[in-house]
């Protein structure tokens, strides 16, 4: 060894060895002592600055191989496993990307029959839930740790005692769609004489009731938005939160794909009170108060019935305020008989009966509304409370449900659970209900589980674990098996269920083991469809009309409870990614608020952020253009406190305002007033300005205009292209030239791309305070502008990420050459070269560059300066990081890279295999997650690539193209069907 | 042993007259020390023009050329990078740095040349004969070394011009 | 011999002989500093240290401790930078450009003005450094040979800034110090204590006033002035390139270089006036820095102030005339948007108030000039604030528009630079001659009252 | 607090002892110790000590105070006796060589195949002296039997050696002195410059001015060169050759036993990382091969033991790129078909692997500018039509990696 490198040995000389039995135990000790000596001496002068700055501690690093290398793991390469995501409000088939034994990303499973196109934002963010530090670390009894065996023994003993004593045993779960679990629960119920009840935080039992009454089937039908020429939605947020939004988004977008062969755009009417995501995408949005929904449906039915020669149902229901506008709706519906779809987002069975009547009149049943693949979801009812509240149950087992938080009668439920001699919570995270229970049995996250799912009838999929259990947890099913004394492993239980029930559904595999392996590989199995026809009971319509007629006119303000697309029913608060993702309509993160109409606000003198009191909630007000005057919209799912760290407690719990009506929970109630408290709190609003100021940012046209001229609304593009000239020779891109096209007509604003980007690119969470200070870090954002009068504006959206301009203004101004142009047309950003002058950000006309204002990631060299309100820089949550993307340190600029790590990976695969790269093979995270296929990425040098084709579309334009920045991102104009 | 003879005036006009008078007599003046640059003294003493402007010119030329060529080399040979679609050799961008380097090198080369040429610098110890020279004394110094006159003759000659307080010392060199 | 037109008022009042000049100017250096001086120095030093502590705080916790955000990437830091650089324009302008134009009145103020320049440029230079997110890696900005084989981006105006500011600081320092050498020699010879003599001899590089040295010195000063004159103009031109070469509406303006340079001289003269009006009283130099001097400077202020005013109006006109909607909006927003107050402060202080100087009475009124000079400095600060912040806060895409509010950290750092500036200035007035002795003496014969021919009738204009 | 100070004095003392003449003259230590040094020198020495303290103290604050030395129930004499025996100081007349002649204290000497004292101590720390004796006196392996031939060591001596080794296992070897030559040199040059400048400006003791001037220029130049070298070395580790937990020789495995690189590092062609073989992969061969020709059984025993205990070997990593560099072996070995030796050097000739190249960015860039891309055989490059055109026309005769973007920032940094 040469003399100069002796310093690696000096370690021992300075560190008295405490226990030489662990000779390598002190690897954190820093070795290059003589260098550091040297630096101390050079503490002054310019040279020292250079030295100190580039001096990083150089620890003796260990390279520890596997003891036995698992065959399926190649260090440095990702493996993908098929699995399924199911949470209280949605389902998605996914591929789990696993690097070195850790799931790091969820991607859509293209083989899925339900969600092949993309995922929702919540699915994307769910990977973080696995690494949640707030999860239960082990089983608990009365808050104290206990071991599984003694807990099991005690519970079995008590259950048997209670069963023998004839006390009822209740098992409360959310809707369970797993066929194996259902079978298991049935067995369990039999063994202990237990009663199983399903409970949904936001129920759809009213829909099922209506279907039972009208069609004679207690089911949620499937909807075919792709077949509908005219969609009329009355307060139904089917693109955001209703039933199966990922599936519906894809169907919906497929009818907004405009090209010469398909000039037919569907027409979407949205009649609603609060501005929902779906409403903001509608071709025509009709503003109506929430209390008018019944009248509106009745009006539509009667008008249609008259037109179609059905008898109108006589009643004294007054005509709604928007009757004139509804006449157009009715006309359009009548014109697209059999190809239209009417839906309503209200759980009132009477309303749904009328909706069914309308669809029946329009002959939509069997066409756009089908009963073949009905949803197994939302099986909950209000019956579950009967036993719990009235029969003095002996044991209450609550599995993943949180009624104490999300039921309006939470006090009664709380008392009942506390009264029960035995209460068991099976949950992964602490919540309001598990707090009350005697026993807590932690369950693993869904990425650690074996399970299966039958979301839609006949479409069965599996869930398989992708990492070892992080905590001492056990699946609920395993617990049930254990308590029943069944020694079968849960995995085997599922497999045998599949083999006995689904093996015959296919004929490719003859061996059951091969069959199972194949299922695990594909993730899903689709059985055959049996045509189902339903009867129709007209008499129910009359009943429904009568009950609507008896509705009392609404008093004061009506409060409508909505679901936030990110937060959902209340699971979101524990996921900081979801909290930080701004609502696509209001662009507010980290809070819920009461949306009020601008006219109301002016009347009451309320501005954004004024704290108001309504009902018994004290909540900031938000002035929402397009809000109905007498309706206040408040999102549920906020105000979770139990088991939620202080930093993540946001908003107020609005579930308490839900009301029970004829045994159905309704998410609206009237008779409220607004009271100003005089307090004010700024909300984390990421977009302060709502108007485009007449600038050609989002360009749009109507369908009629487009039919006349495909470049309608985009005349400017031609003009700018015409002026395209340059003083000097442009750079040539001799190989690839990456580009992206975004169809504004397809983008619904669901934010799946934002969350996919978060996951893929290790984007830090900065917290509410920082978002308020405009320090958010998202690389892709979805701008939303209002157009027209504030009472009911039109909404346009535009996803904006780095435009990768060929004449990038940011590149010219970086003094240290940290950002420049790659030979493939990428605007590249070298974080390690960046010194953080922010000049590039100032000079970016799109403002897509993000600066690490504080040490959000903990990767800074300076100690004790971390700013991480969401605790995502602890060791456990850090495991989610994508190892292929640098975690940026404090003080550097970052921005969208077109997922360059994916470009590299796919290029390399093609190179190694010696074949050209295929178009569509390479997808950035945003494109991959987008359920509506609005984003297309590819090689612009390839004239046949999809992106090149889209760039040639007359609808294509570049954002701020008049600046001659030559972006690589193109936008396709938004076309509204207003004919 | 060579003697040095010096005296002073309190008015620069007297000094100029004296210088002329002495030169008319053929006496060589070793040095004239004044509190500020006296107009016309250079001409009276027949001092050659300074070369400092030439130094500055050469320095500026070197600075500018090196600066420009360095930038050109970096962007064409060293590592050509595409910044915002500009050509690699974007000459207009190089003007500011070239200019600044020209001025910097010119100024400093001249400054250093001045100090070296005048034997001034930190730690340089001057042979001060009269401290008032930096106040209001205009001093003429004559040396035996480059005159054929004796010490007393020099004293007389100087005194004759009206110089005050004429003194003589024997300098070693 | 030189004859001076009797119309000109003398530049040195009182019957000052050469000896008197020396005595008066060296007095502050020789005398024991008074209590006020110590109080002033103490306060400045404390403010400076607080500022430095806040700089440390910023480096430690990040730029997020400031009010800047994703939309307004530069806030007070660059506003202050441009402001200080602007102030740093007067000194070299006075000593270089006025030397070339043979303006004798510059001699009494150029020393102090140049010192002020250097201190102001030091304050200015701090901001581009500390506004970096990763200051410890700031050396990346220097084109030094490295194993990465990576150089810097010579296209970036920020890099030009590095060269311009460094060159300006170094050349100004050289110019200033070269001018100081003879005067330091004077101080050396007035000192009684040996160590002081030695120290000043060290500082004066062994100056002895030899005719040959004077000849070279004069020659060098002239060339240096010739070099510094374009340099003065180039520095703020390059600073203006930071904005002018960008694409942001309100920044992307070709008028910026002349507009910035005149603005810089405008604010620089204002600052010189602020300081000199106080200094002449405090150091008893009324006879040297006369009302005539103040008036001359005020004339330059009117000239530059008017140029600045025309530039403002031209900008507005061009925004309208260009027909570019972003440009138009940016200027409408300046005048009527949420930061309109800043715009109108700027307009009042920079355009309207200097016009009062057309009145000779006001021009020669010291109290008025003092107040006005402070007004101008405030106005010029707001000019930069308007350019930096209001242009950025509403640029192209309304979705990203935001507001900016400084935090106490930024305010403390700004105050800290005042601390630094005044600490240095306080030290300067006690250590170095505030007036260029040799230069004043050299113009005394032609401009001092004592030497002016007796027949010249007395001017009784000066009243204080 | 006092410990570091003591250390400094001790280090100076040892320095003096070793190189008596030059150092003591330099610092005037002789005079100082004799009590007749003049005041100037005394001051100078105190200044020097204080100066070095100033810079070394913060450094030493990293060190922790040692635990009281464990003796394991044995007297100090016993341990010392064992030590002396091991070191060959006892007995005075012996036929065989001392233990230390083959077994170094620590595995410093990397060419010595024999286990070090520390290794032995750790291995036998938990065992009784009978088994130790058996191993020493009745060796089983070929290599060891050859070297331990004709041993004539009494049981008592062996016992003391065991005691010593047990002690060593707990305390570790005595610390040796760090090399701070560069630092001292730098400091010294600094002082020299200060003196020369002071003389040049104030004292003017030296008659000829060019002497101090030359000293200043020379010393400053040398200092700058030190700074430059150290700055370049920062974050670089060319030549890094750490000790590994097992004396694994690539030469033995690759050259002598003809094992292909890709047998152990089998993911090099299709993954980012080249894979360090897992314990069970080693055992594929070592299940049979239990004794090396040079190292005997001792080193292979470590592997076997690890295998039995079900743990991985904790190798010390040599080739290490910063976290912000994404390097892929697949790109270079798989797609680029480069030879391992191009970056790693002739590992097959290394007994102890060291880092051959400096792995600096400039080194990468240079190679990218020279390495030609296989444009003919790999269909992937069909996309690069412009280059094919140029090749056909003869505008260029080859395409190098840098032409197709190998030197783009985001090739490695993202």
Q: How confident is the model at residue D213 (pLDDT cuts 50, 70, 90)?
A: confident
In a domain, A810, yes or no: yes
Distance from CA of A105 to the nearest CA of D (A): 18
Nearest Cα residue in chain C from D364 = C148
Q: How many CA atoms lie within 13 A of A502 on its CB side?
A: 25
Cβ-defined contacts of D380-384 (< 8 Å, 24+) = D380/A907, D380/A910, D380/A911, D380/A913, D380/A914, D380/A915, D380/A916, D380/A917, D382/A916, D383/A735, D383/A736, D383/A916, D383/A917, D383/A939, D383/A941, D383/A942, D384/A734, D384/A735
pLDDT at res. A930: 95
Q: CA nearest D360 in C: which residue?
A: C147
Q: Is residue C8 packed enough to be buried (19+ CB in 10 Å), middle (13-18) or exposed (0-12)?
A: middle
Is the model's pLDDT at D54 over the cut of 90? no
Cα-based distances in Å from A970 to A795, A951, C42, D184: 20, 6, 61, 63
Expressed as residue numbers, the domain containing C255 is 18-144+168-447
pLDDT band at residue C9 using 50, 70 and 90 as cut-offs: confident
| Residue C399 contacts A where some CB pair is shorter than 8 Å | yes
- Domain boundaries defined on chain B: 2-49+127-171, 52-117
Q: Do A728 and B82 touch (CB under 8 A)?
A: no
CB pairs under 8 A between C and D: 18
A809 inside 8 A of chain B by CB: yes
CA pseudo-torsion sign A309, A310, A311, A314: negative
Q: What is the mean pLDDT of residues B128-140?
A: 86
Q: What is the chain B residue with the closest CA to D197?
A: B123
**A820 has a chain B CB within 8 A of its CB:** yes
B24 contacts chain C (CB < 8 A): no
Say whether B122 and D201 touch across the interface (CB within 8 A): yes
* pLDDT for residue D25: 39
Chain D hits for B123, Cβ within 8 Å: 200-202
Using the predicted structure, report yes or no on whether residue D161 has a pLDDT greater than 90: no
Check which CATH number belongs to the domain holding A780 and give it. 3.30.70.20
Q: Are strands A267-272 and A284-287 parallel, antiparallel or unpaired?
A: parallel
* pTM exceeds 0.80, yes or no: yes
Name C340's Cβ contacts closer than 8 Å, sequence gap at least 6.
C334
Q: Provide the shortest C-alpha distance from residue A928 to chain D (in Å).
A: 20
B132 touches chain C (CB under 8 A): yes
Nearest-Cα distance to chain B for C270, in Å, is 27
- CB of A588 closer than 8 Å to CB of A685: yes
| pLDDT tens readout for residues C383-428 | 999 999 999 999 999 999 999 999 999 999 999 999 999 999 999 9
Residue D381, sorted as left (phi over 0), alpha (psi -120 to 50) or beta, turns out to be: alpha
Q: Which residues pair with A851 in a beta bridge?
A: A893
Intervals of chain A under pLDDT 70: 1-59, 572
3-state helix, strand, coil in chain A (%, to 5): 30, 20, 45
- Stretch B40-67: mean pLDDT, rounded? 91
Question: Which is nearest to A96 in space by CA: A113, A76, A82?
Answer: A82
Six token digits for residue A103: 């799931």
**pLDDT: is C171 or B125 the higher one?**
C171
Answer yes or no: is pLDDT of B47 > 90: no
Q: What is the pLDDT of residues C188-235, one digit of tens each?
A: 998 888 888 888 998 999 898 899 999 999 999 999 999 999 999 999
User: What are the C-alpha distances in Å from A483 to residues A154, A158, A487, C301?
Assistant: 10, 11, 10, 92
| Min Cα separation B149/chain D (Å) | 34
Chain C residues near residue A851 by CB distance under 8 angstroms: 63, 70, 73, 133
Interval C366-377: pLDDT, tens:
999 999 999 999
* Cβ-count burial A510-547 (b if 16+ within 10 Å, e if not): eeeeebbeebeebbbbbbeeeebebeebeebbeebbeb
**Chain D touched by A51 (CB under 8 Å):** yes
pLDDT of residue D49: 57
C-beta atoms of D358 and C147 within 8 A: yes
Q: Which residue segment(s) compose the domain that A656 sits in?
A: 554-685
Is the minimum CB–CB distance between B28 and chain C shorter than 8 Å? no
The pLDDT tens digits of the residues spanning C429-452 come to: 889 998 888 888 888 877 777 666
* Euclidean distance between the first and the last CA atom of chain A, given in angstroms as a whole number: 83
More confident residue, C328 or D98: C328
Residue A965 shares a structural domain with residue A819: yes
Q: Would you call B85 and A810 a contact, using CB atoms and an 8 Å cutoff?
A: no
Partner residue opposite D239 with nearest CB, options A5, A40, A65:
A5
In a domain, A826, yes or no: yes
pLDDT above 60 (res D65): no
In chain C, residues with a C-beta closer than 8 Å to the C-beta of D362 are: 146-149
Largest CA distance in chain A: 102
**Of A55, A826, A828, which is closest to D234 when you measure between CB atoms?**
A55
ipTM value: 0.85
Q: What percent of chain D has pLDDT over 70?
A: 76
Per-domain residue ranges of chain D: 1-65, 76-171, 177-234, 241-359, 360-414
Q: State pLDDT tens for residues A601-633.
A: 999 999 999 999 988 899 999 999 999 999 999
Residue of B8, B23, B35 to mutate when probing chain C, most C C-beta within 10 A: B35
Query: Does any CB of chain B come closer than 8 Å to the CB of residue C214?
Result: yes
Mutate to test the interface with A, among B80, B84, B89, B94 (most CBs of A within 10 A): B84
Taking alpha carbons only, the member of C154, C199, C411 closest to residue A817 is C154
- D202: closest CA of chain B, how far (Å): 6
Q: How many CA atoms lie within 13 A of A542 on its CB side?
A: 5
Q: Is D339 exposed, middle or buried (0-12, 13-18, 19+ CB in 10 A)?
A: exposed
Mutate to test the interface with C, among B80, B96, B142 (most CBs of C within 10 A): B96
A823–D contact, CB cutoff 8 A = yes
With CA atoms as reference, report the closest residue to A814 among A796, A793, A828. A828
**Across C146-173, average pLDDT:** 92
**A444 or D2, which is more confident?**
A444
- Verify whether the Cβ–Cβ distance B110 to C223 is below 8 Å: yes
The structural domain count of chain A equals 4
Topology (CATH level 3) of domain B2-49+127-171: Alpha-Beta Plaits (3.30.70)
Other beta carbons within 10 angstroms of residue B11's beta carbon come to: 14
pLDDT reported for residue B172: 52
Give the DSSP H/E element, type plus range, for residue A668. Answer: strand A668-672
Query: b/e string for D202-223 if b means 16 or more Cβ within 10 A?
Result: eeeeeeeeeebeebbeebbeeb
What's the token pair of residue B169?
């010392």
Average pLDDT over residues D71-98: 71
Show residues of chain D in contact with B122, CB under 8 Å. Answer: 201
Answer yes or no: CATH 1.10.8 is held by domain D76-171.
Answer: no
pLDDT digits (tens, 9 = 90+) for A843-864: 999 999 999 999 999 888 888 8
What gap in Å lies between CA C289 and CA C11, rounded to an integer?
A: 8
Selected residues 207-246 of chain D with any CB under 8 Å from a CB in chain C: 232, 236
Pick the last residue of a domain from A685, A718, A733. Answer: A685
Q: Determine, for residues A808 and B86 on separate chains, whether the beta-carbon distance falls below 8 Å.
A: no
Mean pLDDT of chain C: 88
Residue that wins the pLDDT comparison between D6 and C321: C321
User: Tell me: the pLDDT tens digits for A165-202?
Assistant: 888 899 999 999 999 999 999 999 988 888 899 999 89
Q: Which of A728, A807, A817 sits opposite B81 (nearest CB)?
A: A817
| Among D residues 147-206, those touching chain C with beta carbons less than 8 Å apart | 201-202
Tell me how far apart the alpha carbons of residues B38 and C18 are, in angstroms, rounded to a whole number.
Answer: 13
> In D, residues 112-151, which contact A (CB 8 Å cutoff)?
118, 121-122, 125
| pLDDT (0 to 100) of residue C1 | 43
- Cβ-defined contact of A41 to D186 (cutoff 8 Å): yes
- Three-state DSSP state, C187: helix
Higher pLDDT, C158 or D296: C158
Are A385 and A413 a contacting pair, CB within 8 Å?
A: yes
Domain count, chain C: 1
Phi, psi (rounded to 5 degrees) for C375:
-55, -45
Do A759 and A854 share a domain, yes or no?
yes
Q: Assess A964–B contact: CB distance below 8 Å, yes or no.
A: no
Q: CA of C149, closest CA in chain D: separation in Å? A: 5
Q: In Å, how far is D172's CA from the nearest CA of chain C?
A: 39
Which chains are within 8 Å of D by 3+ CB pairs?
A, B, C
Closest partner CB to C141 (pick from A54, A835, A841): A835
Say yes or no for a CB contact (<8 Å) between A908 and D62: no
Are residues A738 and A630 part of one domain?
no
CB within 8 Å of chain A, chain C residues 9-38:
none
Query: What whole-number distance in Å separates Cα of residue A521 and Cα of residue A269?
Result: 41
Higher pLDDT, B89 or D111: B89
Model confidence band, residue C464 (pLDDT cutoffs 50, 70, 90) = very low
Q: Considering only CB atoms, which chain C residues are within 8 Å of A772?
A: none
Q: What torsion do the CA atoms of B65, B66, B69, B71 make, to the nearest 10 degrees?
A: -120
Of C147, C149, C150, the CB nearest to D232: C147
What pLDDT sits at residue D51?
53
State the Cα–Cα distance between residues A544 and A206, nearest whole angstrom: 12
DSSP result, C121-158: HHHHHHHHHHTSTTGGGGGGGS----TT-----TT-HH
Look at C171 and B104 and tell me if their CB atoms are within 8 Å.
yes
Residue A63 carries which DSSP code?
E
Whether the per-residue pLDDT at C23 is higher than 80: the answer is yes
Q: Which long-range contacts (CB under 8 A, 24 or more apart) does C139-147 make?
A: C139/A46, C139/A49, C139/A50, C139/A53, C140/A816, C140/A833, C140/A835, C141/A815, C141/A816, C141/A835, C143/B70, C143/B74, C144/A50, C146/D362, C147/D232, C147/D236, C147/D358, C147/D360, C147/D361, C147/D362, C147/D363
Give contacts of C 319-358 with A, CB under 8 A.
325-326, 329
């Amino acid at each position: 060894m040469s003399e100069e490198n002796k310093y690696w040995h000096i370690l021992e000389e300075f560190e008295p060895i405490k226990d030489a039995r662990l000779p390598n135990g002190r690897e954190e000790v820093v070795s290059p002592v003589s260098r550091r000596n040297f630096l101390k001496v050079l503490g002054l002068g310019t040279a020292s600055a250079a030295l100190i700055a580039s001096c990083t501690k150089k620890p003796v690093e260990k390279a520890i191989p596997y003891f036995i290398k698992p065959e399926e793991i190649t260090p440095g390469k990702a493996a993908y496993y098929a699995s399924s995501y199911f949470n209280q409000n949605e389902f998605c088939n996914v591929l789990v990307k696993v690097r070195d034994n850790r799931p790091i990303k969820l991607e859509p499973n293209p083989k899925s029959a339900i969600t092949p196109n993309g995922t929702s934002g919540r699915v994307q963010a769910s990977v973080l839930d696995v690494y949640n530090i707030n999860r239960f670390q082990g089983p608990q009894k009365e808050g104290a740790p206990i071991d599984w065996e003694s807990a099991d023994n005690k519970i079995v003993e008590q259950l048997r005692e209670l069963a023998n004593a004839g006390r009822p045993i209740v098992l409360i779960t959310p809707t369970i769609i797993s066929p194996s679990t259902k079978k298991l629960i049935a067995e369990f119920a039999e063994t202990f004489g237990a009663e199983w009840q399903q409970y949904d935080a936001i129920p759809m039992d009213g829909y099922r009731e209506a279907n039972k009454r009208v069609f004679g089937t207690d089911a949620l039908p499937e909807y075919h938005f792709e077949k509908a020429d005219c969609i009329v939605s009355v307060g139904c947020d089917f693109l955001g939160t209703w039933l199966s939004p990922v599936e519906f988004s894809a169907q919906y977008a497929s009818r907004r794909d405009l090209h010469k062969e398909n000039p037919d755009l569907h027409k979407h009417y949205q009649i609603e009170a609060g501005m929902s995501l779906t409403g903001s995408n509608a071709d025509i949005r009709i503003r109506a108060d929430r209390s008018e929904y019944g009248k509106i449906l009745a009006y539509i039915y009667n008008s249609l019935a008259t037109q179609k020669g059905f008898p109108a149902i006589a009643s004294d229901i007054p005509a709604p305020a928007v009757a004139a506008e509804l006449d157009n709706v009715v006309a359009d519906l009548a014109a697209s008989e059999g190809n239209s779809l009417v839906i309503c987002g209200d759980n009132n069975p009477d309303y749904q009966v009328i909706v069914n009547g309308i669809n029946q009149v329009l002959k939509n049943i069997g066409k756009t509304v089908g009963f073949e693949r009905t949803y197994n979801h939302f099986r909950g009812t209000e019956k579950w409370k009967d036993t719990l509240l009235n029969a003095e149950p002996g044991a209450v087992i609550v599995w993943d449900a949180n009624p104490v938080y999300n039921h309006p009668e939470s006090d009664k439920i709380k008392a009942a659970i506390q009264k029960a001699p035995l209460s068991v919570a099976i949950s992964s995270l602490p919540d309001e209900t598990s707090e009350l229970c005697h026993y807590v049995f932690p369950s693993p996250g869904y990425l650690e589980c074996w399970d299966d799912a039958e979301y839609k009838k006949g479409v069965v999929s599996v869930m398989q674990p992708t990492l070892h259990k992080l905590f001492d947890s056990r699946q609920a099913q395993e617990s049930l098996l254990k308590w029943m004394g069944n020694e079968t492993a849960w995995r085997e239980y599922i497999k045998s269920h599949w083999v006995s029930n689904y093996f015959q559904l296919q004929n490719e595999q003859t061996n059951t083991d091969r069959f199972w392996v194949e299922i695990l590989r594909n993730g899903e199995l689709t059985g055959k469809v049996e045509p189902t026809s339903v009867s129709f009971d007209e008499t129910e319509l009359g009943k429904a009309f009568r009950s609507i007629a008896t509705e009392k006119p609404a008093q004061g303000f009506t409060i409508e409870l909505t679901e936030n697309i990110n937060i959902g029913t209340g699971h979101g608060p524990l996921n900081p990614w979801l909290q930080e993702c701004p609502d696509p309509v209001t662009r507010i993160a980290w809070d819920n608020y009461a949306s009020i109409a601008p006219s109301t606000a002016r009347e009451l003198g309320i501005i954004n952020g004024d704290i108001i009191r309504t009902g018994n909630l004290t909540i900031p007000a938000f002035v929402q253009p397009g809000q109905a005057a007498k309706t206040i919209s408040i999102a549920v799912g906020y105000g979770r406190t139990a088991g939620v760290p202080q930093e993540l407690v946001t908003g107020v719990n609005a579930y308490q305002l839900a009301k029970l009506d004829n045994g159905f929970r309704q998410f609206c109630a009237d008779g409220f007033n607004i009271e100003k408290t005089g307090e004010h709190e700024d909300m984390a609003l990421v977009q302060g300005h709502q108007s485009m100021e007449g600038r050609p940012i989002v360009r749009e046209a109507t369908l009629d205009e487009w039919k006349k001229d495909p470049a309608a609304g985009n005349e400017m593009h031609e003009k700018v292209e015409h002026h395209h000239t340059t003083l000097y020779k442009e750079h040539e891109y001799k190989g690839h030239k990456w580009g992206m096209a975004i169809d504004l007509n397809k983008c619904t604003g669901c934010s799946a791309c934002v969350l996919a980007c978060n996951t893929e690119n290790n984007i830090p969470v900065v917290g509410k305070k920082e978002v308020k200070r405009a320090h958010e870090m998202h690389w892709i954002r979805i701008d939303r502008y209002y157009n027209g009068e504030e009472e009911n504006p039109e909404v346009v959206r535009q996803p904006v990420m780095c435009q990768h301009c060929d004449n990038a203004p940011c590149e010219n101004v970086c003094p240290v050459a940290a950002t420049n142009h790659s030979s493939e047309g990428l605007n590249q950003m070298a974080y390690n070269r960046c010194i953080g002058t922010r000049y590039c950000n100032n000079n970016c006309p799109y403002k897509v560059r993000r600066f690490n204002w504080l040490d959000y990631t903990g990767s800074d060299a300076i100690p004790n300066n971390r700013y991480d309100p969401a605790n995502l820089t602890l060791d456990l949550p850090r495991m989610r990081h994508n190892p292929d993307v640098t975690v940026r340190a404090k003080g550097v600029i970052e921005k969208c890279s077109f997922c360059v790590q994916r470009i590299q990976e796919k290029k390399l695969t093609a190179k190694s295999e010696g074949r050209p790269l295929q178009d569509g093979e390479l997808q950035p995270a945003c494109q991959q997650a987008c359920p509506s296929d609005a984003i297309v990425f590819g090689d612009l040098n390839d004239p046949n690539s999809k992106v090149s084709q889209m760039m040639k579309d007359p609808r294509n334009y570049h954002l701020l193209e008049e600046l001659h920045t030559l972006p690589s991102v193109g936008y396709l104009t938004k076309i509204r069907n207003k004919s | 042993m060579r003697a040095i003879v010096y005296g002073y005036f309190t008015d620069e006009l007297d000094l100029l007259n004296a210088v002329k008078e002495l030169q008319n007599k053929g006496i060589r003046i070793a040095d004239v020390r004044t509190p500020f640059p006296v107009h016309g003294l250079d001409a009276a003493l027949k001092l050659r023009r300074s070369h400092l402007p030439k130094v500055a010119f050469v320095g500026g030329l070197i600075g500018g050329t090196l600066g420009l060529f360095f930038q050109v080399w970096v962007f064409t040979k060293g590592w050509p990078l595409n910044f915002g679609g500009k050509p690699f050799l974007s000459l207009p961008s190089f003007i500011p740095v070239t200019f600044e380097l020209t001025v910097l090198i010119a100024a400093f080369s001249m400054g250093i040349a001045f100090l070296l040429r005048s034997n001034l610098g930190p730690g340089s110890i001057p042979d001060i004969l009269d401290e008032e020279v930096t106040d209001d004394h205009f001093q003429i110094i004559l040396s035996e070394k480059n005159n054929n006159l004796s010490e007393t003759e020099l004293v007389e000659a100087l005194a004759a011009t009206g110089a005050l307080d004429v003194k003589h010392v024997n300098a070693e060199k | 011999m030189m004859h001076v037109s009797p119309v000109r008022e003398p530049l040195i009042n009182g019957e000052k002989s050469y000896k008197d000049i020396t005595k008066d100017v060296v007095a502050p250096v020789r005398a024991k500093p008074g209590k006020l001086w110590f109080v002033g120095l103490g306060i400045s030093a404390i403010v400076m240290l607080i500022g430095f502590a806040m700089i440390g705080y910023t480096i430690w916790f990040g730029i997020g401790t400031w009010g800047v955000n994703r939309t307004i990437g530069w806030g007070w830091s660059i506003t202050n930078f441009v402001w200080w650089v602007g102030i740093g324009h007067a000194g070299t302008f006075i000593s270089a450009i006025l030397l070339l134009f043979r303006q004798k009145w510059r001699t009494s103020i150029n020393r102090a003005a140049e010192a002020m320049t250097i201190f102001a440029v030091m304050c200015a230079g701090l901001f581009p450094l500390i506004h970096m997110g990763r200051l410890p890696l700031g050396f990346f900005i220097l084109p030094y040979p490295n194993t990465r084989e990576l150089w810097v981006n010579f296209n970036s105006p920020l890099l030009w800034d590095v060269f311009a500011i460094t060159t300006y600081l170094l050349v100004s320092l050289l110019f200033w110090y070269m001018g100081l050498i003879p005067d330091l020699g004077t101080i050396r010879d007035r000192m009684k204590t040996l160590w002081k003599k030695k120290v000043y001899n060290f500082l004066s590089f062994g100056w002895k006033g030899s005719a040959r040295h004077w000849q070279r010195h004069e020659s060098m000063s002239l060339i240096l002035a010739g070099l510094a004159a374009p340099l003065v103009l180039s520095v703020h031109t390059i600073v203006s390139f930071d904005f002018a070469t960008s694409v942001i509406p309100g920044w992307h303006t070709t008028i910026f270089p002349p507009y910035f340079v005149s603005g810089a001289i405008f604010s620089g003269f204002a600052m010189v006036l602020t300081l000199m009006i106080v200094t002449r009283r405090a150091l008893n130099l009324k006879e040297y820095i006369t009302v005539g001097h103040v008036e001359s400077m005020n004339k330059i202020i009117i000239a530059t102030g008017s140029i600045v005013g025309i530039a403002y109006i031209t900008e507005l006109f061009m925004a309208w005339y260009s027909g570019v909607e972003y440009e138009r909006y940016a200027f409408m927003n300046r005048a009527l948007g949420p930061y309109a107050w800043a715009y109108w402060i700027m307009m009042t202080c920079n355009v309207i108030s200097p016009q009062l100087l057309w009145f000779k009475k006001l021009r020669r009124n010291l109290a008025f000039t003092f107040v006005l000079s402070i007004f101008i400095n405030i106005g010029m600060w707001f000019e930069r604030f308007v350019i930096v912040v209001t242009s950025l806060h509403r640029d192209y895409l309304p979705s990203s528009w935001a507001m900016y509010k400084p935090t106490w950290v930024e305010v403390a750092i700004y105050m800290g630079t005042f601390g630094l500036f005044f600490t240095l200035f306080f030290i300067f007035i006690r250590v170095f001659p505030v007036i260029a002795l040799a230069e004043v003496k050299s113009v005394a014969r032609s401009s001092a009252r004592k030497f002016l021919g007796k027949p010249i009738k007395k001017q009784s204009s000066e009243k204080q | 607090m006092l410990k570091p100070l003591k250390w400094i004095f001790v280090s100076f003392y040892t320095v003096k002892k070793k190189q008596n003449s030059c150092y003591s003259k330099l610092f005037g230590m002789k005079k100082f110790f004799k009590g007749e040094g003049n005041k100037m020198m005394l001051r100078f020495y105190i200044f020097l000590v204080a100066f070095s303290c100033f810079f070394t103290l913060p450094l030493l604050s990293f060190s922790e105070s040692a635990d009281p030395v464990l003796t394991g129930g044995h007297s100090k004499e016993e341990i010392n006796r064992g030590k002396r025996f091991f070191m060959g100081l006892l007995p005075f007349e012996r036929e065989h060589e001392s233990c230390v002649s083959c077994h170094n204290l620590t595995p410093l000497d990397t060419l010595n195949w024999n286990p070090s004292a520390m290794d032995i101590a750790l291995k036998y720390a938990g065992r009784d002296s009978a088994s130790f004796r058996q191993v020493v006196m009745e060796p089983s392996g070929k290599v060891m039997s050859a070297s331990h031939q004709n041993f004539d060591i009494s049981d008592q001596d062996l016992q003391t050696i065991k005691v010593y080794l047990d002690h060593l296992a707990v305390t570790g070897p005595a610390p040796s002195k760090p090399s701070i030559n560069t630092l001292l040199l730098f400091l010294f040059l600094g002082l020299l410059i200060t003196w020369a400048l002071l003389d040049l400006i104030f004292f003017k003791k030296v008659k000829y001015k060019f002497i101090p001037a030359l000293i200043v220029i020379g010393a400053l130049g040398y200092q700058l060169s030190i700074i430059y070298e150290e700055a370049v070395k920062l974050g670089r580790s060319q030549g890094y050759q750490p000790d590994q937990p097992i004396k694994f020789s690539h030469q033995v495995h690759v050259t002598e036993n003809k094992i292909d690189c890709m047998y152990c590092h089998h993911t090099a062609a299709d993954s980012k990382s080249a894979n360090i073989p897992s314990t069970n992969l080693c055992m594929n061969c070592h299940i049979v091969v239990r004794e090396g020709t040079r190292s005997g059984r001792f080193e292979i025993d470590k592997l076997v033991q690890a295998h039995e205990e079900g743990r991985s070997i904790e190798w010390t990593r040599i080739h290490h790129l910063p976290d912000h560099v994404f390097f892929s072996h697949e790109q270079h070995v798989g797609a680029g078909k480069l030879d391992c030796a191009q970056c790693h050097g002739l590992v097959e000739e290394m007994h102890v692997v060291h880092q051959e190249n400096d792995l600096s960015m400039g080194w990468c860039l240079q190679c990218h500018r020279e390495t030609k891309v296989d444009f003919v055989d790999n269909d992937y490059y069909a996309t690069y039509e412009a280059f094919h055109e140029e090749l056909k026309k003869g505008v260029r005769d080859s395409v190098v990696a840098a032409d197709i973007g190998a030197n783009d920032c985001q090739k490695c940094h993202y």
